[in-house]
Structure 1
Amino acid sequence: MKRLTLLISAILMTGSILMQAQVYKFDFSIDKKVKDGYIKVTSETLFNNERGYGYDLLPSWDGKSNQPFFFSLNVPDGNYKVTVTLGSKKEAASTTVRGESRRLFVENLSTKKGEMITETFTINKRNPVISGKERVSIKEKEKKKLNWDDKLTLEFNGDLPRVNSLVIERVENIPTVYLCGNSTVVDQDNEPWASWGQMIPRFFTDQVCIANHAESGLSANTFIGGKRLAKILSQIKEGDYLLVEFGHNDQKQKGPGKGAFYSFAYNLKIFIDEARAKGAHPILVTPTSRRRFDENGKSVNTHGDYPDAVRWVAAKENVPLIELNGMTAILFNALGVDNSTKAFVHYPAGTFPGQTRTLKDNTHFSTYGAYEVSKCVIEGMKKADLEIVKYLRPDYSGFDPAQPDSFESFKWNLGSFTENEKPDGN
């Protein structure tokens, strides 16, 4: 009986290990023969919880359409290495891959007829559960977001998206960069809104994972109060990074004990102390500049004492600082009063479905603006000498905010969902 018990225990343990190490392989090719060890995906492979994988959100892909499509897989919280082979035997293609709420990973990858190119990246998946009955206090509209569910969802977009195969596997021992912030950092779900946090994954190899926990409208204290930091602390490990950018919404808080060098500085120290207690590296980021110019056409600071408070706390606590406020001011000065509108959500009525009024927002970024600001963050990482910059992709050639990329050279295939209401916060 004892031997039987040991045998059963060994089998259960082996099964547990196999489940934890499970690799999901999907064959999207037009070949009739299925690749060994792969699951064949057809136009009838639609996602449901019973199956646990399949085409999601939009009509399934038939291998011929040039329309974007989504593919989802139910997986536990964690980091997942994605290996995707793009291309077609029948035609030239151009494919962009985004994940969860429009996080950019593979950008405008062109393949010739018959050419297949394999790309890898690492993506973070999470749900609101912390432990037991403890949950992140997410907003009602966040319940519809792809960031806070049980699925890992990939979006395939581009001029002519073509996917041959997809492999998804759990990974543990790579550094994770957790992002804390507001609407300038969050993964914006819908066009035309975007933030730097969802663009920055594109520039890192699969040896780094970006986990963006930011949300629109939040300040340092409401991020903590909503148990978002608690969620991060339940997962963060030694050697990970915690990037913290607040200020936009904090500066609107009034009353006793409020202020840049009072409650705001106090809350920043909470992030620092909690990260260090887990063996992680806290990084402070000064708030991105808004689009506001003086009579001489020069960018002005709209954040009062809050950027200085971030600098003060960083120096006092010996924490690396990313000077995003200064770099974005340089960026917007370089673009100029008129052209800087391209970095923000400025669009005439009728640009997007159901948009009956002009959009003029001088806080929230367009996709182009978010892309440029994400490069500013990377340059800040380099200046701070963060070890993770060694994992930048080879095609990242550096960035000077005084010489921004041409708006005309920036190519972004619109996502399938739009929203005309501005994000929370300002």
Structure 2
Amino acid sequence: MQTRMVAAVAVLMPAIAFAQPGTVRLACGPANRMFATLSQGSIASDTANGFDLGTVPAFTGKACTSDQPFFISANLPEGTYRVTVTLGGPQASVTTVRAESRRLMLEKIPIPAGGAETRMFDVNIRYPEIADGVPGHVVKRKPREFDNLDWDHRLTLEFNGERPSLRSVTIEPVTEPVVYLAGDSTVVDQDTEPWAAWGQMLPRFFMPGVVIANHAESGETIKSFVGEQRFAKIFSVIRPGDYLFLQFNHNDQKPGAVSLEDYNRLLREYVAKARAAGATPVLVTAMNRRTFDDAGKITNSLGGYPDAVRAAAAETRTALIDLNAMSKTLFEAMGPEVSRKAFMHYAANTFPNQTAAIDDDTHFNSYGAYELARCVVHGIRAAKLPLVKFLAADVPDFDPAKPDPQATFSLPMTPIRIKTDVTKVPQT
């Protein structure tokens, strides 16, 4: 869990008050009539915007810089926002920006000493409350979700990397198509390193103009997504022109969970509901587990559920992203040994408080999640979805048979804030 802390600073300046709703403009350094000025005393609270999670960077000229990650939070209404950041500082820097629970927005932006570069990305903020006129109607969150940055009433931005540096940030409400993700722990915004899933990597591959709203949660089946009011939440905010991506299987197939009959029925029901709302449904087959046979080929450990998704897509004429097939190609291209480095395989004592090894062939680290997100983007292209026009131009199409080399992949790690073994974070 990520617990908010109050930073201890030598001199406390007034925190920056926020206007709700509206635009938030924050800048480092001397006062600017167009921006609220961030200082070491600008600490986020329920009534103020500023630095969060116990982090305060240094101030040099008109830049906030640090040799450690730092966080900025703004109190905002539920909705979609265009975030404009001007990065750079007096020293050379390479800055990665994440939002909320480790959603990857900007990847390793290099800025020379004294330089500045402005980038934009779009973020969706969600509340647990369901605005459908039913008093007290909320998403039935699991205990681990109550301190999750995805569900609070703030937008939190993480600035990380090699001397991360920021000059200013502007946050403005926008109206645009939303891509809602419904799924399980292989899709969710994993909030604790080294866990990761493809849904939280997906925003990195899109330009402003469309936004990813990842409602997936660990341990979910398509049936529990109904019972916990997660579909109710999505359908309280989904609008014509939006998208609904559905990927369930890993938990549905477990004994006594969801029969194939119920799975088929619910897939078709929510495809129909999306269309009735004017949204475009997209069915995604679940990726394979890391189950190799003696010949180095991936075996099917997911039963008849991937085929059920394929059949539902064909029958209902719904766009299909066959991540199951692509992941088989991807993992076989990696091979049994390299693929271990895409999953949660870590020796004991790799992380603080981790006393035992973890060997998990279902869940992914950042490398595995990133490669699967690239497969999903390839699937969007193959399906010729209108979303193609919003794909980032700096990333070419992806061939699952030619994965990015694991040895050259890196993303800066979000600080681990839980005080227990990270490998014990519940996923089911």
| Fold in common (TM above 0.5) | yes
- Take 1:61 and 1:49, find their aligned partners in 2: how far apart are those partners? 21
Residues 211-240 of structure 1, C-alpha deviations (whole Å, 9 max, x = no match):
000000000010111111111111111010
Counterpart for residue 9 of structure 2: none
Aligned to 2:3: none
Provide the TM-score with structure 1 as the length reference: 0.91
1:161 paired residue number? 164
**Structure possessing the higher radius of gyration over alpha carbons:** 1
In structure 2, the partner of 1:138 is: 141
Deviations 1:25-66 (A, max 9, x none): 0002x3x3x233200001110111122x11111221223421
Equivalent residue letter for 1:247: N
After superposition, where does 1:261-410 map in structure 2 within 5 Å? Answer: 262-410=261-409
Aligned counterparts of 2:124 and 2:228: Cα–Cα separation in 1: 20
Q: CA deviation at 1:195?
A: 0.1
Return the alpha-carbon distance in structure 2 between the equivalents of residues 247 and 192 of structure 1.
23
The corresponding residue for 2:25 is: 25
- Structure 1 counterpart of 2:205, which letter? F
Given that 2:66 and 2:165 are in contact with CA atoms closer than 8 Å, whether structure 1 keeps it comes out as no
Tell me the CA shift for residue 19 of structure 1.
5.6
Quote the offset at 1:409 in angstroms: 1.6
Partners of 1:59 and 1:354 in 2: CA distance: 23
Alpha carbons 1:126, 1:148 under 8 Å: kept: yes
Corresponding residue for 2:39?
42
Q: Is the 8 A contact 2:47 2:75 kept in 1?
A: no
Contact 1:183 1:423 in 2 (8 A): no
Aligned to 2:174: 171
Specify every segment of 5 or more residues in structure 2 that has no aligned partner in the other structure, as ranges: 1-18, 60-64
Q: Please say if residues 42 and 62 of structure 1, whose CA atoms lie closer than 8 Å, have aligned partners that are also in contact.
A: no
Query: Cα gap change, 1:396/1:423 in structure 2, threshold over 3 Å: closer, same or farther?
Result: farther
Instruction: Give the match for residue 244 of structure 1.
Output: 246
Which residue in 2 is equivalent to 1:100?
100
CA contact 1:94–1:158 (8 Å) conserved in 2: yes
Whether the aligned pair in 2 keeps the contact of 1:124 and 1:209 (CA below 8 Å) is yes
The answer on 1:79 being equivalent to 2:80 is yes
Asked if structure 1 preserves the Cα contact closer than 8 Å seen for 2:20 and 2:76, the reply is: no
Could you state the TM-score of these two structures normalised by the residue count of structure 2?
0.91
> Residues 249 and 302 of structure 2 are in contact (CA less than 8 Å); yes or no, is this contact kept in structure 1?
yes
User: Partners in 2 of 1:225 and 1:77 — Cα distance?
Assistant: 23
Deviation at 1:23, TM superposition (A): 1.3
Moved more, 408-417 or 213-222: 408-417
| CA 317–253 in structure 1, closer or farther in 2 if over 3 Å, else same | farther
Is 1:149 the counterpart of 2:152? The answer is yes
Percent same amino acid at aligned positions? 45
Match of 1:57 among 53, 60, 84: 53
Q: Which sections of structure 1, spanning at least 5 residues, go unmatched?
A: 1-17
Does the aligned pair in 1 maintain the 2:85–2:120 contact within 8 Å?
yes
1:68 is matched by which residue type in structure 2?
Answer: P
Q: Which has the higher helix share?
A: 1
Q: Distance in 1 between matches of 2:226 and 2:255?
A: 15
Q: CA deviation at 1:133?
A: 1.4
Tell me the number of residue pairs that the alignment of Structure 1 and Structure 2 aligns.
398
Q: Secondary structure at the match of 1:408?
A: helix
Q: How far is the alpha carbon of 1:338 from its aligned partner?
A: 0.7
